[in-house]
Amino acid sequence: MNSPIRVLLAKVGLDGHDRGVKVVARALRDAGMDVIYSGLHRTPDEVVTAAIQEDVDVLGVSLLSGVQMTVFPKILDQLKKQGADDMIVVAGGVMPDEDVAALKQMGVKEVMLQDTPPQAIIDTLKKLVAERGPR
């Protein structure tokens, strides 16, 4: 009885562009994953609460508004406070290269920018979950 990989896809802050995250949601669904979508305009705390309640393997945050260096520290910090810092956090969207390096430094497992093919996202998530091991 293999459980599907569970993923929470979240949009945080004022960013209202969710075409990309919906494409990703659909791709992950078609790869056999359970995908929970947060909807728009969530706060970092709300996203962490949802990720914990839903016991997801992967928390993916899509950002096209440039606030990644504000949002991700809050999310990672809150996950740590809640004892869930083993959750795999990944980022997607549009952001500068120096931010990508900084995000990975602070614990974001992967940053997938706007030109990442859907199959590459699927493969990356499968690899990260396999590395982490069973629940």
Partner 1 sequence: MSRAVASVALVDRVQAGEPAAIARLISRAESGAAEVHEALARIYKLAGAAHVIGLTGVPGSGKSTLVGKLTEKLRAKGAKVGIVAIDPSSPYSGGAILGDRIRMSDMANDPGVYIRSMATRGATGGMARAALDAVDILDVAGFDTVILETVGVGQDEVEIVRASHTTIVVSAPGLGDEIQAIKAGILEIADIHVVSKCDRSDANRTLIDLKQMLTLGLRAAAKSAWQLPVVGTSTVSGQGIDELIVAIEQHRRFGLESEAGQQRRLAIAQFRLRKTADNLLLDRFGAAIARASAPLAAKLMRREADPYSLANELLNSSLLREPDHEQDPRSKIA
Ranges of H-type helices in the chain: 19-30, 44-53, 68-81, 97-106, 118-132
Nearer to partner 1, 83 or 98 (CB): 83
Select the residue interacting with partner 1 from 16, 23, 70, 86 (CB under 8 A).
86
Binding of residue 81 to partner 1 (CB under 8 A): no
Select the residue interacting with partner 1 from 28, 61, 63, 111 (CB under 8 A).
28
* Least distance to partner 1, CB of residue 87, Å: 10
Exposed, middle or buried by CB within 10 Å (0-12, 13-18, 19+), for 86?
exposed
Binding of residue 30 to partner 1 (CB under 8 A): yes
What is d(CA 49, CA 103) in angstroms, rounded to the nearest whole number?
21
Q: Which parts of this chain interact with partner 1 (CB under 8 A)?
A: 1, 3-4, 6, 25-26, 28-39, 42-43, 45-46, 49-50, 52-55, 82-84, 86, 132-135
